[in-house]
Amino acid sequence: MASWPCAARAMQDRRPLCADEDHRVRATILEYCGFPVPELLRRCTVRLAAEYLATDRHAELLRLHASAATCRDTDPVPKIVTVAAYKGGVGKTTLALELAYLLDAPLVDLDWDRGGATRRWGYRHEDRSRAPLLEALTNQRTPKLLRGRGKADLVPSHPEFAVAQPSDEDIATALEKWTGEWGRSWVVVDTHPGGVPSTFGAMNAASLVLVPVQLATNSLNALEGMLEEAADYPIMVVPNMVASVPPAIAVRRLRELAEHWQVQVAPPVSNSAALPNRQQRMAVTSLDPTPARLARYADELHGVAESVRTYDTG
Ligand SMILES: Nc1ncnc2c1ncn2[C@@H]1O[C@H](COP(=O)(O)OP(=O)(O)OP(=O)(O)O)[C@@H](O)[C@H]1O
Ligand SMILES: [Mg+2]
Protein backbone atom coordinates (compact mmCIF):
# COMPACT_ATOMS: atom_id res chain seq x y z
CA MET A 1 0.00 0.00 0.00
CA ALA A 2 3.01 2.30 0.38
CA SER A 3 2.69 3.58 -3.16
CA TRP A 4 -0.91 4.78 -2.85
CA PRO A 5 -0.20 8.34 -1.67
CA CYS A 6 2.51 8.59 -4.28
CA ALA A 7 0.15 7.39 -7.02
CA ALA A 8 -2.52 9.76 -5.76
CA ARG A 9 -0.12 12.69 -5.94
CA ALA A 10 0.91 11.72 -9.45
CA MET A 11 -2.73 11.63 -10.55
CA GLN A 12 -3.36 14.98 -8.92
CA ASP A 13 -0.38 16.48 -10.72
CA ARG A 14 -1.53 14.86 -13.97
CA ARG A 15 1.87 13.07 -13.98
CA PRO A 16 1.76 9.70 -15.70
CA LEU A 17 1.93 6.89 -13.16
CA CYS A 18 5.10 4.84 -13.16
CA ALA A 19 4.64 1.18 -14.05
CA ASP A 20 4.46 -0.01 -10.45
CA GLU A 21 1.95 2.68 -9.37
CA ASP A 22 -0.13 2.07 -12.44
CA HIS A 23 -0.20 -1.66 -11.83
CA ARG A 24 -1.30 -1.24 -8.21
CA VAL A 25 -3.99 1.31 -9.06
CA ARG A 26 -5.45 -0.87 -11.79
CA ALA A 27 -5.29 -4.07 -9.77
CA THR A 28 -7.01 -2.54 -6.74
CA ILE A 29 -9.72 -0.83 -8.74
CA LEU A 30 -10.39 -4.02 -10.65
CA GLU A 31 -10.55 -6.01 -7.42
CA TYR A 32 -13.04 -3.66 -5.78
CA CYS A 33 -15.06 -2.43 -8.70
CA GLY A 34 -14.87 -5.07 -11.35
CA PHE A 35 -14.19 -2.57 -14.10
CA PRO A 36 -10.93 -1.20 -15.46
CA VAL A 37 -9.36 2.13 -14.58
CA PRO A 38 -10.51 4.27 -17.50
CA GLU A 39 -14.11 3.52 -16.60
CA LEU A 40 -13.58 4.74 -13.04
CA LEU A 41 -11.81 7.83 -14.25
CA ARG A 42 -14.69 8.63 -16.53
CA ARG A 43 -17.11 8.22 -13.66
CA CYS A 44 -15.33 10.48 -11.23
CA THR A 45 -12.68 13.08 -11.88
CA VAL A 46 -9.00 12.40 -11.58
CA ARG A 47 -8.93 14.62 -8.53
CA LEU A 48 -11.59 12.61 -6.73
CA ALA A 49 -10.03 9.34 -7.73
CA ALA A 50 -6.73 10.55 -6.36
CA GLU A 51 -8.31 11.65 -3.12
CA TYR A 52 -10.15 8.39 -2.68
CA LEU A 53 -7.11 6.35 -3.42
CA ALA A 54 -5.08 8.31 -0.89
CA THR A 55 -7.42 7.62 2.00
CA ASP A 56 -7.86 4.57 4.16
CA ARG A 57 -11.44 4.57 3.01
CA HIS A 58 -10.58 3.96 -0.60
CA ALA A 59 -11.95 0.43 -0.59
CA GLU A 60 -15.33 1.53 0.76
CA LEU A 61 -15.54 4.47 -1.62
CA LEU A 62 -14.56 2.40 -4.60
CA ARG A 63 -17.30 -0.04 -3.72
CA LEU A 64 -19.74 2.87 -3.86
CA HIS A 65 -18.47 3.67 -7.33
CA ALA A 66 -18.89 0.04 -8.27
CA SER A 67 -22.55 0.11 -7.27
CA ALA A 68 -23.01 3.40 -9.14
CA ALA A 69 -21.52 1.70 -12.18
CA THR A 70 -24.36 -0.81 -12.31
CA CYS A 71 -26.52 1.96 -13.78
CA ARG A 72 -23.75 3.44 -15.89
CA ASP A 73 -25.67 3.25 -19.15
CA THR A 74 -28.45 5.50 -17.90
CA ASP A 75 -26.37 7.63 -15.58
CA PRO A 76 -23.92 9.93 -17.40
CA VAL A 77 -21.03 11.52 -15.55
CA PRO A 78 -22.36 14.67 -13.86
CA LYS A 79 -20.82 17.89 -15.03
CA ILE A 80 -20.08 21.03 -13.09
CA VAL A 81 -20.58 24.29 -14.96
CA THR A 82 -19.00 27.25 -13.19
CA VAL A 83 -20.02 30.77 -14.14
CA ALA A 84 -17.09 33.09 -13.47
CA ALA A 85 -15.57 36.37 -14.61
CA TYR A 86 -12.86 38.68 -13.39
CA LYS A 87 -15.19 41.64 -13.91
CA GLY A 88 -18.30 42.26 -11.81
CA GLY A 89 -21.76 42.98 -13.19
CA VAL A 90 -21.34 41.16 -16.50
CA GLY A 91 -24.36 38.90 -15.92
CA LYS A 92 -22.95 35.82 -14.14
CA THR A 93 -25.77 35.43 -11.64
CA THR A 94 -28.57 36.04 -14.13
CA LEU A 95 -27.05 33.46 -16.46
CA ALA A 96 -26.43 30.97 -13.63
CA LEU A 97 -30.04 31.17 -12.38
CA GLU A 98 -31.47 30.56 -15.85
CA LEU A 99 -28.97 27.94 -16.93
CA ALA A 100 -29.39 25.91 -13.74
CA TYR A 101 -33.14 25.86 -14.33
CA LEU A 102 -32.75 24.83 -17.97
CA LEU A 103 -30.27 22.06 -17.14
CA ASP A 104 -32.34 20.90 -14.16
CA ALA A 105 -29.18 21.44 -12.14
CA PRO A 106 -28.69 22.35 -8.50
CA LEU A 107 -27.29 25.88 -8.25
CA VAL A 108 -24.50 26.39 -5.73
CA ASP A 109 -24.17 30.06 -4.85
CA LEU A 110 -20.58 30.88 -3.87
CA ASP A 111 -21.10 34.64 -3.96
CA TRP A 112 -21.71 36.27 -0.62
CA ASP A 113 -22.88 39.62 -1.95
CA ARG A 114 -26.47 40.59 -1.34
CA GLY A 115 -27.34 40.98 -5.00
CA GLY A 116 -26.43 37.37 -5.59
CA ALA A 117 -28.37 34.31 -6.68
CA THR A 118 -29.50 33.44 -3.14
CA ARG A 119 -31.40 36.67 -2.64
CA ARG A 120 -32.78 36.68 -6.14
CA TRP A 121 -34.01 33.12 -5.66
CA GLY A 122 -35.99 34.37 -2.65
CA TYR A 123 -33.86 33.11 0.24
CA ARG A 124 -33.12 35.52 3.08
CA HIS A 125 -30.41 34.38 5.45
CA GLU A 126 -31.77 36.80 8.09
CA ASP A 127 -34.89 34.65 8.39
CA ARG A 128 -32.98 31.41 8.82
CA SER A 129 -31.14 29.95 11.76
CA ARG A 130 -28.92 27.72 9.65
CA ALA A 131 -26.26 28.42 7.06
CA PRO A 132 -26.31 25.40 4.72
CA LEU A 133 -23.21 26.28 2.70
CA LEU A 134 -21.03 27.05 5.72
CA GLU A 135 -22.28 24.03 7.67
CA ALA A 136 -21.73 21.67 4.75
CA LEU A 137 -18.16 22.88 4.29
CA THR A 138 -17.34 22.83 8.00
CA ASN A 139 -18.90 19.43 8.68
CA GLN A 140 -17.89 17.92 5.35
CA ARG A 141 -21.49 17.01 4.62
CA THR A 142 -23.43 17.29 1.41
CA PRO A 143 -25.92 20.16 1.74
CA LYS A 144 -29.62 19.54 1.31
CA LEU A 145 -31.02 21.34 -1.68
CA LEU A 146 -33.71 23.99 -1.27
CA ARG A 147 -36.49 23.51 -3.75
CA GLY A 148 -38.78 26.07 -5.30
CA ARG A 149 -41.23 26.41 -8.11
CA GLY A 150 -40.02 27.61 -11.49
CA LYS A 151 -36.43 27.87 -10.33
CA ALA A 152 -33.38 25.70 -9.80
CA ASP A 153 -32.70 23.80 -6.59
CA LEU A 154 -30.35 25.91 -4.50
CA VAL A 155 -27.48 25.76 -2.05
CA PRO A 156 -27.79 29.29 -0.67
CA SER A 157 -24.78 31.39 0.16
CA HIS A 158 -24.19 33.34 3.36
CA PRO A 159 -22.51 36.72 4.02
CA GLU A 160 -19.94 35.03 6.28
CA PHE A 161 -18.72 32.98 3.35
CA ALA A 162 -16.72 36.12 2.48
CA VAL A 163 -14.40 35.45 5.40
CA ALA A 164 -15.08 31.76 5.98
CA GLN A 165 -14.27 30.38 2.57
CA PRO A 166 -11.93 27.41 2.53
CA SER A 167 -9.04 26.95 0.13
CA ASP A 168 -9.62 26.49 -3.59
CA GLU A 169 -8.62 22.87 -3.18
CA ASP A 170 -11.23 22.23 -0.47
CA ILE A 171 -13.96 23.96 -2.48
CA ALA A 172 -13.16 21.87 -5.55
CA THR A 173 -13.19 18.67 -3.53
CA ALA A 174 -16.48 19.56 -1.84
CA LEU A 175 -18.18 20.48 -5.13
CA GLU A 176 -17.07 17.24 -6.74
CA LYS A 177 -18.27 15.21 -3.78
CA TRP A 178 -21.66 16.97 -3.62
CA THR A 179 -22.10 16.60 -7.36
CA GLY A 180 -21.54 12.87 -7.10
CA GLU A 181 -23.94 12.53 -4.19
CA TRP A 182 -26.77 14.62 -5.65
CA GLY A 183 -26.85 12.24 -8.61
CA ARG A 184 -27.92 14.90 -11.11
CA SER A 185 -26.51 15.28 -14.60
CA TRP A 186 -25.44 18.89 -14.08
CA VAL A 187 -24.48 21.26 -11.29
CA VAL A 188 -24.16 25.01 -11.86
CA VAL A 189 -21.97 27.19 -9.63
CA ASP A 190 -22.24 30.97 -9.42
CA THR A 191 -19.18 32.80 -8.16
CA HIS A 192 -17.94 36.06 -6.70
CA PRO A 193 -16.27 38.30 -9.28
CA GLY A 194 -12.50 38.15 -9.53
CA GLY A 195 -9.94 35.57 -8.55
CA VAL A 196 -10.91 34.64 -5.00
CA PRO A 197 -10.15 31.10 -3.71
CA SER A 198 -13.75 29.88 -3.95
CA THR A 199 -13.95 31.00 -7.58
CA PHE A 200 -10.74 29.21 -8.49
CA GLY A 201 -11.93 26.13 -6.59
CA ALA A 202 -15.17 26.12 -8.56
CA MET A 203 -13.23 26.60 -11.80
CA ASN A 204 -10.92 23.73 -10.89
CA ALA A 205 -13.88 21.42 -10.34
CA ALA A 206 -15.66 22.47 -13.53
CA SER A 207 -16.06 20.60 -16.80
CA LEU A 208 -16.94 23.96 -18.28
CA VAL A 209 -16.32 27.54 -17.17
CA LEU A 210 -18.80 30.01 -18.64
CA VAL A 211 -17.50 33.56 -18.82
CA PRO A 212 -20.08 36.23 -19.66
CA VAL A 213 -18.59 39.26 -21.33
CA GLN A 214 -20.05 42.53 -22.53
CA LEU A 215 -18.95 43.86 -25.89
CA ALA A 216 -17.35 46.89 -24.29
CA THR A 217 -13.74 47.84 -23.68
CA ASN A 218 -13.57 47.29 -19.91
CA SER A 219 -15.29 43.96 -20.04
CA LEU A 220 -13.11 42.76 -22.92
CA ASN A 221 -9.99 43.96 -21.08
CA ALA A 222 -11.06 41.91 -18.06
CA LEU A 223 -11.70 38.91 -20.31
CA GLU A 224 -8.25 39.28 -21.82
CA GLY A 225 -6.70 39.36 -18.34
CA MET A 226 -8.64 36.26 -17.36
CA LEU A 227 -7.61 34.38 -20.50
CA GLU A 228 -3.96 35.32 -19.98
CA GLU A 229 -4.10 33.67 -16.57
CA ALA A 230 -6.64 30.93 -17.06
CA ALA A 231 -6.91 29.95 -20.72
CA ASP A 232 -6.06 26.36 -19.82
CA TYR A 233 -9.50 25.96 -18.22
CA PRO A 234 -12.34 24.66 -20.40
CA ILE A 235 -13.75 28.13 -21.03
CA MET A 236 -16.73 29.15 -23.11
CA VAL A 237 -17.27 32.89 -23.43
CA VAL A 238 -20.88 34.12 -23.47
CA PRO A 239 -21.33 37.55 -25.10
CA ASN A 240 -23.98 39.13 -22.90
CA MET A 241 -26.16 42.25 -22.96
CA VAL A 242 -25.32 42.56 -26.63
CA ALA A 243 -26.79 45.62 -28.36
CA SER A 244 -28.88 45.08 -31.49
CA VAL A 245 -26.00 46.61 -33.46
CA PRO A 246 -22.87 45.71 -31.47
CA PRO A 247 -19.75 47.84 -32.04
CA ALA A 248 -17.77 46.22 -34.84
CA ILE A 249 -14.49 46.88 -33.06
CA ALA A 250 -15.64 44.97 -29.98
CA VAL A 251 -16.95 42.05 -32.06
CA ARG A 252 -13.58 41.87 -33.82
CA ARG A 253 -11.66 41.97 -30.56
CA LEU A 254 -13.75 39.18 -29.07
CA ARG A 255 -13.17 37.06 -32.18
CA GLU A 256 -9.42 37.70 -31.98
CA LEU A 257 -9.29 36.82 -28.29
CA ALA A 258 -11.25 33.62 -28.84
CA GLU A 259 -9.01 32.60 -31.74
CA HIS A 260 -5.81 33.49 -29.95
CA TRP A 261 -6.71 31.61 -26.77
CA GLN A 262 -8.65 28.87 -28.53
CA VAL A 263 -11.80 29.25 -26.46
CA GLN A 264 -15.32 28.66 -27.69
CA VAL A 265 -17.92 31.41 -27.88
CA ALA A 266 -21.57 30.70 -27.09
CA PRO A 267 -24.40 32.29 -29.08
CA PRO A 268 -24.81 35.88 -27.90
CA VAL A 269 -27.44 36.99 -25.39
CA SER A 270 -29.04 40.33 -26.24
CA ASN A 271 -29.49 43.27 -23.97
CA SER A 272 -32.97 42.81 -22.53
CA ALA A 273 -34.43 46.01 -21.09
CA ALA A 274 -36.90 43.99 -19.02
CA LEU A 275 -34.23 42.23 -16.97
CA PRO A 276 -32.51 44.77 -14.70
CA ASN A 277 -35.67 45.80 -12.85
CA ARG A 278 -37.25 42.37 -12.77
CA GLN A 279 -38.46 41.49 -9.26
CA GLN A 280 -39.82 38.00 -9.94
CA ARG A 281 -37.87 35.11 -8.54
CA MET A 282 -38.83 32.38 -10.98
CA ALA A 283 -36.51 31.79 -13.92
CA VAL A 284 -37.52 33.63 -17.07
CA THR A 285 -37.15 30.36 -18.94
CA SER A 286 -39.71 28.71 -16.63
CA LEU A 287 -42.51 31.11 -17.56
CA ASP A 288 -45.30 29.66 -19.64
CA PRO A 289 -46.31 31.51 -21.68
CA THR A 290 -43.15 33.57 -21.93
CA PRO A 291 -43.98 37.29 -21.72
CA ALA A 292 -43.40 38.87 -25.14
CA ARG A 293 -40.80 41.31 -23.75
CA LEU A 294 -38.69 38.38 -22.52
CA ALA A 295 -39.27 35.96 -25.39
CA ARG A 296 -36.07 36.75 -27.24
CA TYR A 297 -34.01 36.50 -24.05
CA ALA A 298 -35.59 33.13 -23.20
CA ASP A 299 -34.86 31.80 -26.71
CA GLU A 300 -31.26 32.92 -26.49
CA LEU A 301 -30.86 31.28 -23.09
CA HIS A 302 -32.10 28.01 -24.59
CA GLY A 303 -29.35 28.46 -27.20
CA VAL A 304 -26.69 28.92 -24.52
CA ALA A 305 -27.95 25.84 -22.64
CA GLU A 306 -27.72 23.82 -25.84
CA SER A 307 -24.12 24.97 -26.36
CA VAL A 308 -23.34 23.83 -22.83
CA ARG A 309 -24.94 20.43 -23.40
CA THR A 310 -22.99 19.90 -26.60
CA TYR A 311 -19.68 21.36 -25.41
CA ASP A 312 -17.00 18.82 -26.06
CA THR A 313 -14.88 18.47 -22.93
CA GLY A 314 -12.46 16.35 -24.93
N1 LIG B 1 -28.92 39.94 -21.06
C2 LIG B 1 -29.13 40.93 -20.23
N3 LIG B 1 -29.77 42.05 -20.64
C4 LIG B 1 -29.97 43.10 -19.82
N5 LIG B 1 -29.60 43.11 -18.54
C6 LIG B 1 -28.96 42.04 -18.06
C7 LIG B 1 -28.69 40.89 -18.86
N8 LIG B 1 -28.03 39.98 -18.08
C9 LIG B 1 -27.91 40.54 -16.87
N10 LIG B 1 -28.46 41.76 -16.85
C11 LIG B 1 -28.55 42.71 -15.73
O12 LIG B 1 -27.23 43.16 -15.42
C13 LIG B 1 -27.11 43.38 -14.03
C14 LIG B 1 -25.93 42.55 -13.52
O15 LIG B 1 -26.26 41.19 -13.71
P16 LIG B 1 -25.77 40.08 -12.69
O17 LIG B 1 -26.11 40.42 -11.29
O18 LIG B 1 -26.27 38.79 -13.23
O19 LIG B 1 -24.20 40.21 -12.92
P20 LIG B 1 -23.02 39.53 -12.07
O21 LIG B 1 -21.91 39.33 -13.03
O22 LIG B 1 -23.52 38.35 -11.36
O23 LIG B 1 -22.68 40.68 -11.04
P24 LIG B 1 -21.69 40.55 -9.76
O25 LIG B 1 -20.31 40.53 -10.33
O26 LIG B 1 -21.98 41.78 -8.97
O27 LIG B 1 -22.04 39.28 -9.08
C28 LIG B 1 -28.43 42.96 -13.41
O29 LIG B 1 -29.20 44.13 -13.23
C30 LIG B 1 -29.08 42.08 -14.46
O31 LIG B 1 -30.48 42.12 -14.42
MG1 LIG C 1 -23.40 37.86 -9.32
Cis amide leading into 267 (omega within 30)? no
d(CA 120, CA 124): 9
Residue 312: what pLDDT? 75
The string of pLDDT tens digits covering residues 163-177 is 999 999 999 999 999
Q: Which residues of the chain have a pLDDT value below 50?
A: 1-4, 42-47, 56-57, 66-75
Record the pTM. 0.80
Between CA 54 and CA 262 the distance in angstroms is: 35
pLDDT at residue number 8? 55
Strand-pairing partners, residue 215, are none
**DSSP tag of 270:** B
User: In degrees rounded to 5, what are phi and psi of residue 16?
Assistant: -60, 140
C-alpha angle 106/110/113, rounded to 5°? 125
Q: What digits encode the pLDDT tens for the residues 39-91?
A: 555 444 444 555 555 554 455 555 555 444 444 434 457 799 999 999 999 99
pLDDT score for 28: 63
Residue 189 to residue 111: CA distance in whole angstroms: 9
Ligand that lies nearest to the alpha carbon of residue 193, given by its number in the listed order: 1
Q: Which atom of ligand 1 is nearest to the CA of 89?
A: 23
- Best residue among 93, 113, 114, 237 to mutate for probing ligand 1's pocket (most ligand atoms within 8 Å of CB) is 93
Task: Tell me how far the alpha carbon of residue 253 lies from the centroid of ligand 2, in angstroms.
Answer: 25
Q: Return the pLDDT at 179.
A: 95
- 285 C-alpha to ligand 2 centroid (Å): 18
Most ligand 1 atoms within 8 A of CB, residue of 275, 284, 285, 301 to mutate: 275
CB–CB of 236/209 below 8 Å? yes
> How many whole angstroms separate alpha carbon 121 and alpha carbon 249?
36
Between the CA of 248 and the centroid of ligand 2 the distance, in Å, is 27
Q: Cα(296)–Cα(292) distance, rounded to whole angstroms?
A: 8
Which pLDDT belongs to residue 88? 95
Measured CA to CA, the distance from residue 272 to residue 242 in angstroms comes to 9
How far lies 5's CA from each of 52, 107, 186, in Å? 10, 33, 30
pLDDT value of residue 72: 42
Q: What is the distance in A from the centroid of ligand 1 to the CA of 119?
A: 14
User: Which structural domains are found in the chain, ordered by start?
Assistant: 4-74 (no CATH), 79-309 (3.40.50.300)
CA of 93 to the centre of ligand 2 (A): 4
Find out whether the beta carbon of 269 lies less than 6 Å from any atom of ligand 1. yes
**Enclosing H/E stretch for 189:** strand 186-190
Are the C-beta atoms of 81 and 133 separated by less than 8 Å?
no
